[in-house]
């Protein structure tokens, strides 16, 4: 299996621009998670999908952030407009359920200038 695939691996953008991060979970996994990792705040869960349905988005920082999962093999995390404080590494993870092992993708390093 190819594992969780994320794109792009690196993104540099200017403040105010829209950013879209993409994730392809492991085939057969029905849960998908978006995390953000920063030095200051560590690893934070942003949103969690189960069977393509958002279950818990309480970690989404504000309305500028949105996530979708149109089908079982694809999810996006969008930031519009982006701000410098959004700079972080964004990880996608997938698993077979909320309590099961989560398998992480390689992450997208986002820099907002």
Partner 1 sequence: AQSVSQHNHHVILSEAASLELGCNYSYGGTVNLFWYVQYPGQHLQLLLKYFSGDPLVKGIKGFEAEFIKSKFSFNLRKPSVQWSDTAEYFCAVIGYGTASKLTFGTGTRLQVTL
Q: Is 34 in the site for partner 1 (CB under 8 A)?
A: no
Cα→Cα distances 33→10, 15, 38, 74, Å: 19, 25, 17, 12
Question: Residue 8 or 16: which CB sits closer to partner 1?
Answer: 8
Q: Given the structure tokens 């990880």, which residue do they identify?
A: 91
Name which position in 23, 33, 36, 75 contacts partner 1 (CB under 8 A).
33
Beta bridge partners of 90: 36, 108
Token pair recorded at residue 9: 């691996």
Name which position in 13, 22, 45, 73 contacts partner 1 (CB under 8 A).
45
- Give contact residues for partner 1 (rule: CB under 8 A): 33, 42-43, 45, 48, 56, 91, 93, 98-107
């Amino acid at each position: 299996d190819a594992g969780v695939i994320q794109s792009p691996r690196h993104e540099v953008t200017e403040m105010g621009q829209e950013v879209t991060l993409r994730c392809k979970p492991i085939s057969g996994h029905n849960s998908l998670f978006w995390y953000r990792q920063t030095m200051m705040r560590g690893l934070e869960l942003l949103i969690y999908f189960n069977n393509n349905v958002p279950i818990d988005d309480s970690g989404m920082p504000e309305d500028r952030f949105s996530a979708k999962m149109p089908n079982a093999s694809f999810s996006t995390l969008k930031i519009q407009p982006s701000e410098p404080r959004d700079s972080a590494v964004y990880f996608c993870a997938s698993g077979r359920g909320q309590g099961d092992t989560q398998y992480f993708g390689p992450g997208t390093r986002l820099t907002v200038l």
